[in-house]
Amino acid sequence: MVNKDVVLYTVENGIARITLNRPEALNALNEEVLEQLSSILESVKTDSNVRAVILTGAGEKAFSAGADIQFLNKATPLEVRNLAILAVSVTNKIESLGKVVVAAINGFALGGGLELAESCALRVSTNQARLGHPEVRIGAVAGFGGTTRLPRLIGKGRAAEMLLTGKAVTAEEAYTIGLVNRVVEPDKLLSETEALILEILSQAPIAVKLTWEAIHRGCNLTLEESALLGADYFGLIASTKDFKEGTNSFLEKTQASFKGR
C-alpha cells in the first residue's frame, strides 16, 4: 500500500481503494485530506488501469465524521468558505470521474463525510453505521453539497427533516429511505462492495460509463432535456462494437463478451 499520509490509495484487479486515514480524528476532513483526495482523484481519472473506485474510511468507527470542528472553530469566515469550495470541487470530481465510485461506509458518516458519500454513484453501509447532517446543531449549514445532493437522493421532504433537525439515521433507516443501496455486516463491507462493483464491471464498459453520465447530468436538466440526453446516448452507444455484440448475443441466446469498444 502506498502511504499518502492522511489518504491511502491502492489498486487491485482494476479497482482502486481510497481510504480516508485519520482514524484518531474519526477521519475528519481538513484541507490536507481534501487536497490529497483531490490529487488522487485526478490520477484515477486518467489511469486506464482503474475501472472503478471504493471510497472508505480507516478504522472501525467512522467513514468520516465530517469537517474538522477544531479547524472550523478557529478559522476565519474566508478560510471556512475556502475549505467548503475545496470540498465541493472534490465531490464534483467524484461525481464526474467517469468511473463508478462506491462509498463503503464503515461507521459514522456525518456532515461533510456524508456529503462525500452522497457524491458517489452508490453507497454500501455496515449495519452499525449512522448517517446524518448535524450541521445545524453547531450553528452551521451543509456546505459541501449536502443541500443539493441529499434532496435528489431521498426527496425534498426527507432531506429537509435530516438537514433541519440534524438527527442521524441508522443504516436500516438509510436503506429504507434510499440513502444507501445495501446494508451488510461489518466484516463483509469491503467484499460486498467489491462484489457490487464487479457486477457492474461485468456489463458493457461504455454503456456503464454513459449510463452514469446520463444519470449525473440528467439531474441538472429538465425532465424533457434529461430524457433527450438519454436518447442521444442511446444513439451514440449504437455505434459501438459492444452494442452489436450485446444485441447479437441476445438474439442468439449466447453470453456476450464485451470489449469496451
C-alpha cell at 259: 470489449
Question: Is-contact 4 42, C-beta < 8 A?
Answer: no
Whether the Cβ atoms of residue 61 and residue 12 lie closer than 8 Å to each other: no
Contact 95, 57 (CB under 8 A): no
**260: its cell numbers:** 469496451
Other residues' Cβ atoms within 10 Å of the Cβ of residue 38:
16
The CA distance from 174 to 15, in Å, is 26
d(CA 75, CA 50): 37
Q: Which of 95, 118, 135, 194 is catalytic?
A: 135
- Using the structure block, give the residue that is written with the C-alpha cell 485519520: 22
Q: Among the options 12, 35, 60, 115, which is catalytic?
A: 115
115 annotated active-site: yes
CA distance 64 to 113: 4
Amino acid at 77: P
Q: What is the DSSP string of 160-199?
A: HHHHHH---EEHHHHHHTTS-SEEE-GGGHHHHHHHHHHH
Query: Helix 205-218 crosses helix 241-252 at what angle (to 10 degrees)?
Result: 110
First to last CA, the chain: 32
Give me the active site residues, please.
115, 135
